[in-house]
Chain A
Amino acid sequence: MTRSSKIFKYVGKRLLQGIPIILAIVVINFFLLNLAEGDAVDVLAGEAGSATPEYMAQLRAKFGLDQPLPVQLMVYLKNVATLDLGYSFRHDMPVSDLIFDRFAATGLLMTSTIILAVGFGVLLGLLAAMRLNTWKDTVITVFALITYATPLFWVGLMMIVVFSLKLGWFPTSGMENVAAFYEGWDRVKDIAVHLVLPTITLSLFYLALYTRMMRASMLEQYGQDYVITARAKGLTERRITFVHVLRNALLPVVTMAGVQVGALIGGSVIVESVFAWPGLGMLAFESLFARDLNLLLGIFMLSSILVIAVNLVVDIIYCFLDPRIEVS
């Protein structure tokens, strides 16, 4: 069997395995959310100021909230199978549309964060390991240590204080300057400028993590026997570092990157809230307090699928990097 057809089979198998997990998550969340007091209609009515019991009963019937729980769950699962994620009470829109709208914003933030965090993390870790115990190493290590200990929301706020309020280099919040009605490249630049602070904030913690991991991984590889063999062959230190050690050192870092995606989504709730970034994280937080069950479930499912998908991609990348792993 060729390697690529093996990989297709593997992907298919993993996707199949992911389904029961997603299902389990949805069921758990469904029951958890229903444990909370009151339901969406209570919240809606509360916001409207008042509502008669009849109106509330009507609303409940409309949204199917007067059915017993297991029935609601069954209905929901059936809908999910047909890709109907339900209706958001609060926003008065189908959930899938709502999620789709906001997904791009979060996707943008997360992608740029991963690139920054992994890319720079690996580079800094590599540099620190190569210049071990010199001032460069110390600076990088101390920087990573401190960054690793800082809370995400605080960094965001401090960034705003320094770079937005005091220096005026970047806008304080939002994804773009809606009032300006930019088009084309202007719009791209505008979004990019708004993207800078949130990305740096979200990526700092993970940057520190990858830096430390990469540095530790490189140091561990430097102590391996094959490095001595490589020296005994008369290779340059440059080749030893970049061709022999680096390739082996990257492996655990790649694995870690996959594991971190879930944490990244969690962090996006905070960053989006600090910077008023119009993404899924903020939406999830709002819908929690609005008891907007459908929306919340939809977001949960999406993030679970995202995590599974990213882990799958990471695993496949790993298979290409490490010939010892059998794709089976």
Chain B
Amino acid sequence: MKTKLLDIRDLFIQLPAGADRQYAVQKVDLELTQGETLCVVGESGSGKSLTARAVMGLLPAPHVQVSNGAINFNGEDVTKASYDRLRDIRGSEISMIFQEPMTALNPVMSIGAQIDEIFRYHVDMPSAERWQKAITLLEDVNLPDPAHIMNAYPHELSGGQRQRAMIAMALALKPKILIADEPTTALDVTTQAQILKLIRDMQKANDTGVLFITHDFGVVADIADRVAVMQHGLVVESGSVEKVLNNPTHPYTQALIDAVPSLSPRKARSRSKVQVLSATDVCKTFGGGRGLFGFGVASREVKAVKNVTLDLHKGETLGIVGESGSGKSTLARCIIRLMDTDSGDISIEGTQINKLSRAEMRLWRNKIQMVFQDPFASLNPRIKVGDIIAQGPVTQGTSKIEADKRARELISIVGLDERSFERYPHEFSGGQRQRIGIARSLALKPEILIADEPVSALDVSIQAQILDLLEEIRDQMNLSMIFITHDLRVAAQVCDRLAVMRYGEVVETGATADIFANPQHDYTRDLLAAVPGKDWKSSAKPKKVAPKKKAPASTTKPKKKLATKRS
């Protein structure tokens, strides 16, 4: 009979006055048994992180605190524990790992010193023995050359390595519970797969209970035994993973699961013969310059894009897929002339645009436009939305009146309230800002649209809306699109053809359906194998033809509230 490790009953966490809502978390009941993995899923603002922090007593007091309920760990109510007792528990009986391994580790202390600390503060052990144990831990998490890593600093390790080091630290004293707060969100998908496997292995070895916070249902499908879904601070549904994922009862859960794109690629549409854009042998290298007066060390050369060749036909969506460092963003910026290529050829309708002067390129701007990734950084906070959208046409010579009229049309096309014209970006949510960004890119009536990870920064339910919007617009305006993403599910849903990039090179191109069915290159195979939850939802549910989705009716947030949600 497995012991019940964690029993959270009727938990209320209150927020300070002036916040969005009174309680971050209400009436939450959760249980965790030895050896099992409980996934807490939700979008941003659901309260899942705060719940996890509360278990460790790590809420940012005094503003945010537990106001009611109990968190029972092995029979003891942690919310009533003394500070010293909490310190005892932390690290040795309950451990936590965090999302951003770079900032979660002290940048000026070596990894070895940071691991050593845990031993020093919880057990009595001579230093030589502690050092040995630390090295063993690093071996257990499959870090190469552990002795060297002990003396290394966080910035010398890669993201995946840092996360492994954090896991080593967390499991050093073989805690009963491991709390993982979105530990793989900031990692590449292949690295993510490795870290998830590592956590599973360590769990099996030590019979640890794992409380795993995530927003990604694919991850849930892969690792969870039980699931709890949270929305606005409430647990709306919980149960075994089979039940919740395959037969969700609560409408919110259903909506979330529907919004996750399935991994089976869309049916290929017939490909037009007309080629609108072609890139041939494009190269771009960074760095390599010498320092001051030739005194400095030459900065490292990075070949961001190496001999990339691809083409885009009219009306199709070409996906460029790759992990960080693959060069996909650099390539996009070269195509749209935000950067200059070092060599190679980029042509639109036969004209080589990468060699045009700045003034000449200006005339081509209305052919090709871009939608950016970060909804918070892609709009000038000091300019009204209407003016942002009208900027393009005005720069190209259209009269302000004409441009404004066009802006109003576009605001309505992207599903925003017409009063948005007068408002400022900070009054809108992430998804709404992305709509504004799309409207801006359409203002010059382009034929080619480059979308650089347009939905990566959005919650999954909003993601679905934006993808639908892009699809609609593409069909209505007969655009050709280049869609950059690292998420294969999104690529499957949106792209007709794919180009897979790695370390600056295109390793495979072809129709999406072909690539998914028959990946030729090893890397493509690895990529497909690493997608979390690939066995779940592998068949596309018939897409409900939804009426044109309008953004939530009120586009203004009342001035008093803090901006905490991302939807």
Contact = CB atoms under 8 A, between A and B. Distances in A.
A324 B107 contact: yes
A55 B491 CA distance: 93
Given A229-B98, A321-B108, A234 B103 contact: no
Contact of A229 (B88, B105, B153, B297): B105
A316 interface: no
A234 B89 contact: yes
Interface size class, chain A = 20 to 34
A319 B296 CA distance: 17
Contacts of B293: 17
Contacts of B98: 225, 228-229
A290 B96 CA distance: 71
Contact of A224 (B92, B103, B117, B295): B103
A235 interface: yes
Interface in A220-265: 224-226, 228-236, 239, 243-244, 247-248, 251
A233 B58 contact: no
A247 B108 contact: yes
A323 interface: yes
A251 B108 CA distance: 10
A328 B107 contact: no
A235 B107 contact: no
B77 interface: no
Interface string B463-505: 0000000000000000000000000000000000000000000
A234 B92 contact: yes
A81 interface: no
Contact of B87 (A229, A234, A322, A324): A234
B509 interface: no
Counting chain B CB atoms within 10 Å of each CB, the highest count among A17, A235, A247 belongs to A235
B122 A234 contact: yes
B295 A233 contact: no
Interface string B142-158: 00000000000101000
B58 A228 contact: yes
Contacts of B121: 233-236, 239
A226 B118 contact: no
Contacts, number: 84
Contacts of B96: 229, 232
A234 B98 CA distance: 15
Contact of A231 (B58, B106, B107, B153): B58
A78 interface: no
A247 B58 CA distance: 23
Nearest to B295: A13
A16 interface: yes
B58 A236 contact: no
A17 B96 CA distance: 48
B58 A324 contact: no
A328 B297 CA distance: 6
A236 B107 contact: no
Contacts of B540: none
Contacts of A17: 292-293, 295
Interface size class, chain B = 20 to 34
Nearest to B83: A237
Contact of A248 (B90, B91, B107, B117): B107
A236 B292 contact: no
A51 B87 CA distance: 86
Contacts of B169: 233
A290 to B, nearest CB: 38
Interface in B274-294: 292-293
Nearest to B106: A226
A228 B100 CA distance: 12
B151 to A, nearest CB: 10
A323 B296 CA distance: 19
Interface string B16-48: 000000000000000000000000000000000
Interface string B102-119: 011111111000000110
B203 interface: no
Interface string A295-328: 0000000000000000000000000011110001
B167 interface: no
A328 B58 contact: no
B95 interface: yes
Nearest to A235: B121
B90 A233 contact: yes
B56 interface: yes
A275 B286 CA distance: 57
Counting chain A CB atoms within 10 Å of each CB, the highest count among B86, B96, B107 belongs to B107
Given A225-B103, A248-B106, A232 B87 contact: no
Contacts of B86: 234
Contacts of A224: 103
Contacts of B87: 234-236
Counting chain B CB atoms within 10 Å of each CB, the highest count among A228, A229, A239 belongs to A229
B295 A16 contact: yes
Given A232-B95, A233-B169, A248 B104 contact: no
Contacts of A231: 56, 58, 90
Contacts of A239: 117, 121
Counting chain B CB atoms within 10 Å of each CB, the highest count among A231, A239, A328 belongs to A231
A29 B104 CA distance: 50
Nearest to A225: B103
Given A17-B292, A228-B104, A235-B117, 17 more contacts: A16-B295, A229-B104, A229-B105, A230-B106, A231-B58, A233-B118, A233-B169, A234-B90, A234-B121, A236-B121, A248-B106, A321-B108, A323-B108, A323-B155, A324-B107, A324-B108, A328-B296
5 contacts: A17-B292, A233-B90, A248-B107, A248-B108, A251-B108
Interface of B: 56, 58, 86-92, 95-96, 98, 100, 103-110, 117-118, 121-122, 153, 155, 166, 169, 292-293, 295-297
